[in-house]
Amino acid sequence: MDYERQPYRRCGRSGLLLPAVSLGLWHNFGEGKPLETQRAILHKAFDLGITHFDIADRYGPPIGAAEAAFGRLLPRSLRDEVVVTTKGFNPMWDGPYGVGGSRKHLLATLDRSLTRLGLDYVDIFYLHRDDEETPLEEQVATLDHMVRTGRALYVGVSNFSPGRTAQAARMLRSLGTPLLVHQPSYSLLNRGIEESLLGVLEEEGVGCVVYSPLAQGLLTDRYLNGIPAGSRAAEGRFLTPDRVTPEVLSFVRSLAELADSRGQTVAQLALAWALRDPRITSVLVGASSPEQLEANVAAVDRLDFTEDELATIDRAAKESGVQA
């Protein structure tokens, strides 16, 4: 494990440090790729100082396969050197108890996750979604119970509104189990959390680990010359062809020019931009190969931006007609 390869940031007002770039297992772990490829990606992550691995009960395919693969590949000698996260809420089995934010479902899905992972506890358990049909008090009390029974060291929420995040943080604080972290989507093409959520997290002392900082691959050079065969957009997997618009491509071409002047790729620029805000604890990246992961982590080699560069990015977004 190379702890010097990248910076570590404190998660909110907790004692937990996370690497600036973390590995998400949403797309590339499970039965869709050879186990040896998955092992190589994981070992490369260790070499790059990645100690934080983000999973969810449903990740695959098939559902649960990402947890099972990670559990099989994680060297047990490194358990105390890594942060393993999972999530609950997702539809996992048939019947009324197979989905949602009820105490019944959340405790059952976490126990199943621990079995697949081969672990006694996860470092962070997230509510993957806010279940508006279950009282927030019940969801929060369940998170507190997970910590008190040793199933999780910390708890977080994902995709919660600013208001509900603040409520959850205050409820958990009253129970003696602080809300550690929020996991929202954030990128140069999706800047909604800047309006309110980041302010709430700062006020409540909650960390922020963002997913999709590359907008499912749009913020790379992959689509500048069309939609390649085998790409996510071509297959309609989490990215549909209609999102590869002339406006987005115009913006990405502008980013490519700036990235080149900084000695970066578009992807590295996009990751560095997300990390420019000290309220962002870490960015989650996926990887289909060790080489892709290494290229993404290289974003930390140039995290500084001048005011002119930031203004250039905002102007390019406005001129291209995307969110600025």
Question: Using N-to-C axis directions, what is the helix angle for 290-297 and 266-274, rounded to 10°?
Answer: 50
pTM above 0.85, yes or no: yes
Each residue's pLDDT expressed in tens, for the chain with a length of 324 residues = 889 999 999 999 999 999 999 999 998 898 878 999 999 999 999 999 999 999 999 999 999 999 999 999 999 999 999 999 999 999 999 999 999 999 999 999 999 999 999 999 999 999 999 999 999 999 999 999 999 999 999 999 999 999 999 999 999 999 999 999 999 999 999 999 999 999 999 999 999 999 999 998 899 988 676 555 555 544 446 655 667 788 999 999 999 999 999 999 999 999 999 999 999 999 999 999 999 999 999 999 999 999 999 999 999 998 877 765
DSSP assignment letter at 206? -
Q: Can you tell me the distance from the alpha carbon of 175 to that of 212, in angstroms, rounded to the nearest whole number?
A: 32
Nearest to 121 by CA among 153, 77, 157, 156: 153
Rounded to 5°, the CA angle 19-24-30 comes to 145
Q: Can you tell me the distance from the alpha carbon of 24 to that of 59, in angstroms, rounded to the nearest whole number?
A: 10
Q: Who contacts 323 (Cβ-Cβ below 8 Å, separation ≥6)?
A: 189, 190, 191, 192, 317
Please provide the DSSP assignment of 239-269 as one string.
S-GGGS-HHHHHHHHHHHHHHHHHT--HHHH
What are the residues facing 127 on neighbouring strands?
88, 157
Q: Can you tell me the distance from the alpha carbon of 225 to that of 246, in angstroms, rounded to the nearest whole number?
A: 11
